[in-house]
Amino acid sequence: MNRHTKKTILRVFGIVSIQLFLTACGLFHNDIEEVNNDPKATEMLLKSAGLSVDSADEALSKAEKAKQDGKLDLAQLYYVKAYEFEPKNVLVLQKMTDLYVQLGKNELAEVSLKLILDQQPKNLKVLEQYGLLLLKNRKYAMAKAALEQVVAKQKSWSAYNGLGIIANVQGDFPLAEALFKKADVISPNSPEILNNVGFALYSAYRFPEALAYYSKALQINPNFKKAIYNYALLQARLGKYDVAYDAFVRVSSEIEANNNLGYIAMDRGDYKKANNYLQEAIRLSPEFYKKANENLKRLEILEKRSHESNH
């Protein structure tokens, strides 16, 4: 790795954590920029804060201690220091990845995983983690390429499941169904996978088949929120509004349940039902529920068009 590449990577890893620390110290934005662009200034800052370390092992040890104490931003700084000492240390990069994921800093986690893969391109475990993280970051083409490499070498339910999600997002519902079912063969009776098969079928308007998968998922885990929500959507699409309402209120507010039912009823052409549900959503939250008002306005337009077309 050349000096320029290492400096760029350090800036990517270090900028967020240093900004967080500086904010806590009450420094200004100009100070942040100066530190980010001047390694000596960064080192001085770390020393003044008592964060100076002499080796990667010492930095890792202090990072682990900070994590145990719940000081995650401090742990992040120590990991950055460990990386400075040993930029090719896979253990450091993996621990940085895990912490970034824990902190919800997925872009940084993505960078650290890519650095591991640069050294270990055949590490399927890391490649799969990288692909699933790319999927989470909605980088579908890159995620697909990574996960396809995984399933070409080994059977992995999570890789097939990730590929199924990408296919579903891209509108290829038959492929999504096939991929989810491959995942189901490897990891049978997983509520998550069963729910995903159901959603692919629902997206293809194969409602009775979708209902069977949602029902099976809920038999295994009656409290699985995603499956409950999707089950409610499906029941509403079938016109079973009371059943759908009972399911919706298990995982959302009465306001959201009424708005959802109003929207679906409107889409089905059940304008009277739609009006009742949307009016109820507005009654429950007249000041704050913007969506219901927007849907009600749309309903008025559709009702007017329907009336005009019948005369």
Which residue has better confidence, 33 or 259? 259
Q: Is the pLDDT of residue 139 over 80?
A: yes
Task: Look at residue 111 and tell me whether its pLDDT is greater than 60.
Answer: yes
Show the CA angle centred on residue 27, arms to residues 25 and 30, nearest 5°: 150
Question: Does pLDDT of 110 surpass 70?
Answer: yes
Tell me what the pLDDT averaged over the chain comes to: 84
**In the prediction, which pLDDT does 25 show?**
30
Give the best-scoring range by mean pLDDT among 42-56, 177-191, 297-311: 177-191
Model-level pTM greater than 0.75? yes
Q: What is the pLDDT of residue 311?
A: 55
Tell me how crowded residue 205 is: count the other CB atoms within 10 A of its CB.
Answer: 9
- Count of structural domains within the chain: 1
8 Å CB contact between 248 and 261: yes
Q: Are 76 and 98 in contact (CB under 8 A)?
A: no
* Residue-wise pLDDT tens digits, 258-288: 999 999 999 999 999 999 999 998 888 876 5
Distance of CA 229 to the CA centre of its chain: 17
**Amino acid 149: pLDDT:** 97
The answer to whether residue 102 sits within a structural domain is: yes
Say if 101 falls within a structural domain. Answer: yes
Question: Does residue 2 belong to any structural domain of this protein?
Answer: yes
Cα–Cα nearest to 208, from 193, 198, 218: 198
Higher pLDDT, 92 or 299: 92
Is 46 part of a structural domain of the chain?
yes
CATH of the domain at 45: 1.25.40
Q: Write out the residue range of the structural domain in which residue 90 sits.
A: 1-117
Spatial CA neighbour of 257 closest among 288, 236, 286: 236
Q: What is the pLDDT of residue 54?
A: 87
* Chain length of the chain: 311
Which amino acid is present at 22?
L
For residue 128, tell me if it sits in a domain.
no
In a domain, 17, yes or no: yes
Distance between CA atoms of 72 and 78, rounded to whole angstroms? 10
- pLDDT at residue 303 is higher than 90: no
Per-residue model confidence as pLDDT tens digits over 43-62: 565 565 566 788 999 999 99
Task: Supply angle C-alpha 115, 179, 164, rounded to 5.
Answer: 55
Residue 4 reports pLDDT greater than 50? no
Assigned domain for 26 exists: yes
**Looking at the domain assignment, is residue 301 inside a domain?**
no
CA dist 131 and 162 (Å) reads 8
